[in-house]
Structure 1
Amino acid sequence: MKAIIFDLDGTLIDSAPDIHAAVNKTLAETGDGELDLDTVRDFIGNGVHVLIERVIAARGLSADRHPAMLESFLKHYEADPATLTTLFPGVQDCVESLHDEGFALGLCTNKPEGPSRAILQAFGLDKYFGAVVGGDTVGTKKPDPAPLLAVKDKLGARVAVYIGDSEIDGECAQRAGMKFALFTEGYRHKGLHEIPHEARFDDFDVLSAIAGRLAEENR
């Protein structure tokens, strides 16, 4: 069986507006001001623990406030993680097409598994994904390859291709021995030449052909 495994934030979805809103609700609870959307977008990718570390540093707060702020953020975010979030153009049709072509689909993200599943369900995509591994599922996060390999194992796939948007995803795929296709319109912080990838795209209309080619090359 061949599998296509996706990252979530910055790949399938533009989730920065909802994350930004939850961050500012957390800061507002204790009168710690707020952060703008672009700043919070730059904090996304390494999981919620690192997100809150970066928020604390940006506001000049004490590091010992991390546990309480993390709890507050998760409370606000998990209450409704898809209010302002949108799918990137073409994602719905691409996922349906890959599923119809017989690919097993999985999700590997550093976002906690609970809200990840809730977001897939909110957009009607959950029925297409046979395995979901979040940042709290296997005890380690990307770029450690364990979460990505766990998705492949759950899907029972012989061959898998990873689709993501960042240097974290590229390193994870490389360490897992998987071909990687880079979505260039997401949340990456490095230049394209600095991220290991076998293909890149800015339009989901072309991903089906790319994924099929990479899966064949990975046999």
Structure 2
Amino acid sequence: MKAVIFDLDGTLIDSAPDLHIATNRVLTEEGLPEISFGQLRGFIGKGAGVLISRVMEAVGLGDDASEHARLLARFMQHYEGEPKNTVLYPGVIDALARLEAMGYTMGLCTNKPEAPTRIALRHFGLDRYFVQVASGDTLPQRKPDPAPLTHVLRALGADCALYVGDSEVDAETAQAAAMPIALYTEGYRKTALAELPPAYAFDHWDRLPEIVHRHFAEVSA
């Protein structure tokens, strides 16, 4: 069985606007300075806990564990509802539908916590495409540890897979799992593409089905 496993934030959806709003609501409630949208984008990738750690550092709060836990809980209260400003990247649904019609099994591997992951998948009608999902709290480990990605691969019962992501974290995860990656270049990546480098790169979702087809044709050859 051949599988395609996807990241979520920065790959399928652009969630940075809602993450930015939720973060600044917490900071405002705490009487702290807001952070810019550009700063927030740079904090995304390793889950909500790391995001809050980076926010705390940015506003001079240090790394107190109890304060982190409190602010993370406040952040999740603001963030866990229906996404209001998050959007799908252009062409995502068409590409997933084409991959489904081509007979590929699909899974999801994200560092986003399970509750907002499920809400986002349902909100955008993505849940029908993913047979298995690993969220940021499914296992003790999070990306770039390869465990969540290999967990999804085993759960799908696939003998080979292509990972689709957007960031340095995704590239590192795929490398650690010895799995090739197709990198969506319009997400949250900050490093030059040549420094990663992915097996494949694409800037629009209408290109992905052909990349997947070509990859597995070469694997089977």
State the TM-score, normalized to the length of structure 2: 0.95
In 2: Cα distance, 1:16 partner to 1:146 partner: 25
Aligned pairs (5 A) from 1:164-175: 164-175=165-176
User: 1:36 aligns to what?
Assistant: 36
**How many pairs are equivalent?**
218
Q: Does 1:195 align with 2:196?
A: yes
* Alpha-carbon separation, structure 2, partners of 1:175 and 1:196: 14
Counterpart secondary structure, 1:186:
coil
Question: Given the alignment of the two structures, is residue 124 of structure 1 paired with residue 125 of structure 2, yes or no?
Answer: yes
Q: 1:89-146 CA distances to partner (integer Å, 9 max, x unpaired)? A: 0001001111111111111011112211210110111011101101110111111111
Counterpart of 2:9 in structure 1 is 9
1:138–1:147 Cα contact (<8 Å) kept = yes
C-alpha contact (below 8 Å) 1:130/1:155 kept by paired residues? yes
Match in the other structure for 1:70? 72
The answer to whether the aligner puts 1:104 opposite 2:105 as a matched pair is yes
The aligned counterpart of 1:94 is 95
Match of 1:151 in 2: 152
Equivalences for 1:18-29 in 2 at 5 Å? 18-29=18-29
Shift of 1:74: 0.8
Could you list the runs of 5+ residues in structure 1 that have no partner in the other structure?
none
Over the matched positions of the two proteins, sequence identity in percent amounts to 52
Contact 1:178 1:218 survives alignment (8 Å): no
Query: Deviation of residue 215 (structure 1)?
Result: 2.5
Q: In structure 1, what is the equivalent of residue 114 of structure 2?
A: 113
Distance 1:55 1:18 in 2: 15
User: For 1:62 and 1:125, how far apart are their aligned partners in 2?
Assistant: 38
Regions of 4+ moved over 6 Å: none
In the TM superposition, residue 28 of structure 1 has moved relative to its aligned partner by: 1.6
Deviation track 1:169-194 (CA, whole Å, cap 9, x = no partner) reads 11111111111111111101211011
Distance in structure 2 (CA, Å) of the matches to 1:4 and 1:55: 33
Q: Is the 8 A contact 1:171 1:196 kept in 2?
A: no
One-letter identity of the residue aligned with 1:202: D
CA RMSD of aligned residues (A): 1.1
> What is the Cα deviation at residue 208 of structure 1?
0.2
Give CA deviations for 1:24-49 in whole Å, capped at 9, x if unaligned.
Answer: 11112211121121110110001111
TM-score when normalising by structure 1: 0.96
Q: Does 1:50 align with 2:53?
A: no
Q: Match of 2:99, as an amino acid?
A: L
In the aligned structure 2, how far is the partner of 1:218 from the partner of 1:167? 25
Aligned match of 2:162:
161
